[in-house]
Amino acid sequence: MKRMEFNLLPTMIGSMPYTDATQAMLSIIKFLPHIPTWPQLPKRGYREYMVAQYSEYFPGLVMDTEGNSTVLEKPFNEQLQKLYEDYLGGAWENYGLTSDYAAGFFAYMQTKNLAPLLAKGQMVGPLTFALSVKDQNGKAIIYDKTKREAVGFFLGLKAIWQERTLQNHSPHTLIFLDEPVLASFGSAYLNVGKETVVSMLNQVYSGLKGLKGIHVCGGTDWEMLLSMPLLDVINFDTYSYAHTLQLYQEQLREFWQKGKAIAWGIVPTDENRLKEETVSSLRDRLEETMAFYTRGKGSPSFSQIAIQSLLTPTCGLNGLSPDACTQALQMLANLSDIMRRKYI
């Protein structure tokens, strides 16, 4: 497998604290020209909340104005057949995003003179979606096998639509699944087994031809993800949870040997922590984290790790003020420049 050479370039998770998609795109173009992503803008309204944004056309789903959703039994059963038919027939064009739910996506696609190395997209992961959506009795649909499988088919079609559309900007694509609930894997909050987790993720990834990534906010069972053949890039909050990945040094070494990549979430998205940091302090923190994996027999060199690395904020930027969002992206871009000059 060919090694992924991201060379410490910066990108971001997705969400931003703007209501104007054009303003968001100007910031992305300025700070993330090589691997831009389209901005998710939840401050525009509930339709751009993480789960709601991808809820259009899910069988029987009704979304209230707070972004909470309910699956109604009767229309779900009626509409499920169409979903199955569309999935088997490859009718992904019926499951696209619309401007009411994703203004940033269409602003991205309408931006001229973009020449990205690859076009990055993102969407809610199937576990987070299925744990967030409840049935009429208030039970998460992840615990219903039929509805759980429907989520995989549904988001798989949406992922294909996004990838095919992004190819209008670049033939090379990277689609991330955002799975914050995996930070609770193994707890009563997410009471499913590894087999279910891997199966649901693979169901979405399986229709994609480009690169496939995952973002997890905190720690999780990294061995489970590192061993997934379809997964190419893992993104996590390196700033606060670097220690959780250190437990899997051998598995990560094999992950890199397969040519895959880590996206280090090093710029904090907590405004108070952001104020305390400088580019220099973040560089020291990142170098110390990466250097850990160069120790021991058979370990990669620092430069090898750097080549197979991306840099990102720790999570989405929506929780920051617009000024702090700019500061975070500026620090990210500057950190990337400094690290690339030193190691690439």
276-301 pLDDT tens trace: 999 999 999 999 999 999 998 889 99
Partners of 222 in beta bridges: none
- Crossing angle (nearest 10°) for helices 73-89 and 145-166: 50
Distance in angstroms (rounded) separating the CA atoms of residues 233 and 337: 21
Distance in angstroms (rounded) separating the CA atoms of residues 22 and 16: 12
CA 145 to chain centre: 25
The pLDDT of residue 15 is above 80 = yes
Q: Give the pLDDT score at 252.
A: 96
3 found inside a domain: no
Asked if residues 255 and 226 have their Cβ atoms less than 8 Å apart, the reply is yes
- Grade residue 2 by pLDDT with cuts at 50, 70 and 90: low
4 found inside a domain: no
Asked if residues 147 and 76 have their Cβ atoms less than 8 Å apart, the reply is yes
The pLDDT of residue 49 is above 50 = yes
Distance in angstroms (rounded) separating the CA atoms of residues 79 and 83: 7
Domain span holding position 144:
9-343
Distance in angstroms (rounded) separating the CA atoms of residues 170 and 35: 10
Mean pLDDT of 120-143: 94
Distance in angstroms (rounded) separating the CA atoms of residues 332 and 328: 6
The candidate with the shortest Cα–Cα distance to 175, out of 132, 232, 257, is: 232
Question: Over the stretch 166-205, which tens digit does the pLDDT of each residue have?
Answer: 999 899 999 999 999 999 887 778 889 999 999 999 999 9
292 found inside a domain: yes
Give the Cα-Cα-Cα angle 328, 178, 191 (nearest 5 degrees): 130
Mean pLDDT of 130-152: 93
Question: Checking DSSP bridges between strand 69-71 and strand 119-124, what pairing results, if any?
Answer: unpaired
| Residue 243 CB coordination number (10 Å) | 10
Mean pLDDT of 300-309: 97
- Residue 137 tokens read as 């009795």
CA-based torsion, 190, 195, 199, 205: positive or negative:
positive
HSE toward the beta carbon, residue 156, CA cutoff 13 A: 24
The candidate with the shortest Cα–Cα distance to 171, out of 115, 124, 212, is: 115
2 found inside a domain: no
| Residue 246 CB coordination number (10 Å) | 13
- Residue 104 tokens read as 């940033």
Question: Over the stretch 65-108, which tens digit does the pLDDT of each residue have?
Answer: 887 888 877 788 889 999 999 999 999 999 999 999 999 999 99
The pLDDT of residue 267 is above 50 = yes
Give the Cα-Cα-Cα angle 222, 226, 228 (nearest 5 degrees): 125
Asked if residues 64 and 75 have their Cβ atoms less than 8 Å apart, the reply is no
Share of the chain above pLDDT 70, in %: 99
Question: Over the stretch 217-253, which tens digit does the pLDDT of each residue have?
Answer: 989 999 999 999 999 999 999 999 999 999 999 999 9
R_g of the chain computed on alpha carbons: 19
Spell out where the chain has E strands.
Answer: 9-10, 61-63, 69-71, 119-124, 134-135, 173-178, 211-216, 233-237, 261-267, 309-313
Q: Give the pLDDT score at 185.
A: 87
Distance in angstroms (rounded) separating the CA atoms of residues 241 and 243: 5
Partners of 190 in beta bridges: 185
Counting the structural domains of the chain, the total is 1
Partners of 70 in beta bridges: 62, 134
Mean pLDDT of the chain: 94
Distance in angstroms (rounded) separating the CA atoms of residues 11 and 34: 8
Distance in angstroms (rounded) separating the CA atoms of residues 323 and 332: 14
- Grade residue 1 by pLDDT with cuts at 50, 70 and 90: very low
CATH of residue 176's domain is 3.20.20.210
Name the strand (E) or helix (H) holding 107. helix 103-110
Q: Give the pLDDT score at 112.
A: 87
